[in-house]
Amino acid sequence: MIYLKNLIGGELIEPSKKQYFDNFEPATGNVYSQIPDSDADDIQLAYQAAEKAFPEWSNTSLDFRFETMMKLVRLIEQNHKKLSEAESMDNGKPIKLAAKVDIPRAAQNFKFFANAITQFASESHNMPGEETINYTVRQPIGVVGCISPWNLPLYLFTWKIAPALAAGNTVIAKPSEVTPYTAYLLSELAIEAGFPKGVLNIVHGLGQKVGDAITRHPGIKAISFTGGTSTGKIISSIAAPMFKKLSLELGGKNPNIIFADANLDNAVRTSVLSSFANQGQICLCGSRIFIERSIYEDFKTSFIAKVNKLKVADPKDPESSLGAVVSKDHFEKVLSYIQLAKEEGGKILSGGNAVQLDGRCENGWFIEPTVIEGLEYNCRVQQEEIFGPVVTLTPFDTEEEALMMANSTEYGLAATIWTENINKAHRVAAKLQSGIVWINCWLVRDLRTPFGGVKNSGVGREGGFEALKFFTESKNICIKY
């Protein structure tokens, strides 16, 4: 049995109360490791270490930060196989997905921000005739908190930690208790990379205990959070009155709009990915597919044919298209929405059932890729985030109707448009209520771009200099000469 440890003050240590709780392997339903059941005392310990480390780390040269972060990049790359296997085991995703996406992106996150900080400049404002000039400095905040979810564990964990460290802050980071393993492995690599003690602290445990302690700690001045909208509301209610900086990447219910003049083959092929990649557990997945009526049957026939070829299998199987969903609770949540879809009048075109595998995975949490048609655009299944391998097909007659339905939810994270008409593409993109729009593609990511949503999908933007601005405070200094 593996006992995970916290990284505090540069040491891998037990939780202060020596309490642990079970960590499950989704593909088998078995307990395979123990997670530190840390609490506010552990966060205080981490805070003391981070506070102590801040003066020195915030005054390191950009080159030193670059070099230290690049050592970690190389260590992640050298441990690619071990980290991929760990991520697949902990999350249930196919090993090929962890190896191709999750772990390479974790390395890239550190590489990107190690470089970005060496290019991050600030402005000066000259006042002609006044013999006065202003210059802006962007200074690190101090000790910051990073709280991340279970769907892309190391990918999203490092997406927050990297800019925070690059900007000169010291960090207290909490991975999801559902998928803590690769964060623990990263702790070992961070020590090996030579991060000064206390610069990066990783504390494991329950959101309501450890995440809450981070949010409430008066010394932690900024919180970067990715997870559910309801949790985002809780964190906001605590942090806002404390005037903490908040970056919130929350839920989504993303539209995927297919116009009649789309390249149908491309639209179908990519829509299978945007529907079911990572078992549909990506906040950017396009779970509501709107198709112009004249091509609705053609799209449906071609889409279902491809979905029916997807293989739900052991994540270790190189042929697996979908692995297990992340937890028993989530398994039951997703199945409950499929049941609700039937009650709301939906017709299951493909899937709709749990998958019973044999062998080591006989007790795993597997669900068929599920396609549903015939639902009203404003029913619960089309309005609420399911976050699993479930999509809906809905026809539309006009651009205005497609936009009305697409914009009808409380969310506004991402959207996809398929059309060969460039004017229509720009016109529709401008009217979509979302922070990210892909046209004739999906999940194409340039890390320099602003990343985040509107409405209940969050507040603030990650990515590029947006992230470095979030993790710094700007100060204007005015000199008369």
The residues binding ligand TXE (CB under 6 A) are 147-151, 174, 176-177, 207-208, 211-212, 215, 226-228, 231, 234-235, 249-251, 283, 385, 387
177: left (phi over 0), alpha (psi -120 to 50) or beta: alpha
Among residues 146, 283, 285, 361, the one annotated as catalytic is: 283
* 285 catalytic residue (yes or no): no
Rounded to a whole number of angstroms, the minimum distance from the CB of residue 217 to ligand TXE is: 11
Rounded to a whole number of angstroms, the minimum distance from the CB of residue 121 to ligand TXE is: 31
For residues 140 and 453, which CB has a smaller minimum distance to ligand TXE in the complex?
453
Q: What secondary structure, in 3-state letters, does the chain show?
A: CEECCEEECCEEECCCCCCEEEEEECCCCEEEEEEECCCHHHHHHHHHHHHHHHHHHHCCCHHHHHHHHHHHHHHHHHCHHHHHHHHHHHHCCCHHHHHHHHHHHHHHHHHHHHHHHHHCCCCEEEECCCCEEEEEEEEECCEEEEECCCCCHHHHHHHHHHHHHHCCCEEEEECCCCCCHHHHHHHHHHHHHCCCCCCEEECCCCHHHHHHHHHHCCCEEEEEEECCHHHHHHHHHHHHHHCCEEEEECCCCCEEEECCCCCHHHHHHHHHHHHHHHHHCCCCCCCEEEEEHHHHHHHHHHHHHHHCCCCECCCCCCCCCECCCCCHHHHHHHHHHHHHHHHCCCEEEECCCEECCCHHHCCCCEECCEEEECCCCCCHHHHCCCCCCEEEEEEECCHHHHHHHHCCCCEECEEEEECCCHHHHHHHHHHCCCCEEEECCCCCCCCCCCECCEECCEECCECHHHHHHHCEEEEEEEEEC
For residues 168 and 463, which CB has a smaller minimum distance to ligand TXE in the complex?
463
For residues 151 and 270, which CB has a smaller minimum distance to ligand TXE in the complex?
151
Rounded to a whole number of angstroms, the minimum distance from the CB of residue 299 to ligand TXE is: 26
Rounded to a whole number of angstroms, the minimum distance from the CB of residue 286 to ligand TXE is: 14
Rounded to a whole number of angstroms, the minimum distance from the CB of residue 7 to ligand TXE is: 16
For residues 143 and 250, which CB has a smaller minimum distance to ligand TXE in the complex?
250
Rounded to a whole number of angstroms, the minimum distance from the CB of residue 387 to ligand TXE is: 4
Rounded to a whole number of angstroms, the minimum distance from the CB of residue 14 to ligand TXE is: 19
Gap between the Cα atoms of 459 and 274, Å rounded:
23
Among residues 87, 249, 292, 385, the one annotated as catalytic is: 249
Rounded to a whole number of angstroms, the minimum distance from the CB of residue 212 to ligand TXE is: 4
For residues 149 and 395, which CB has a smaller minimum distance to ligand TXE in the complex?
149
The answer to whether the beta carbons of residues 200 and 171 sit under 8 Å apart is: yes
* 249 catalytic residue (yes or no): yes
What does the block give as tokens for 126? Answer: 């000259």
For residues 71 and 160, which CB has a smaller minimum distance to ligand TXE in the complex?
160
For residues 44 and 118, which CB has a smaller minimum distance to ligand TXE in the complex?
44
Gap between the Cα atoms of 28 and 48, Å rounded:
39
For residues 215 and 472, which CB has a smaller minimum distance to ligand TXE in the complex?
215
> What amino acid positions are annotated as catalytic residues?
249, 283
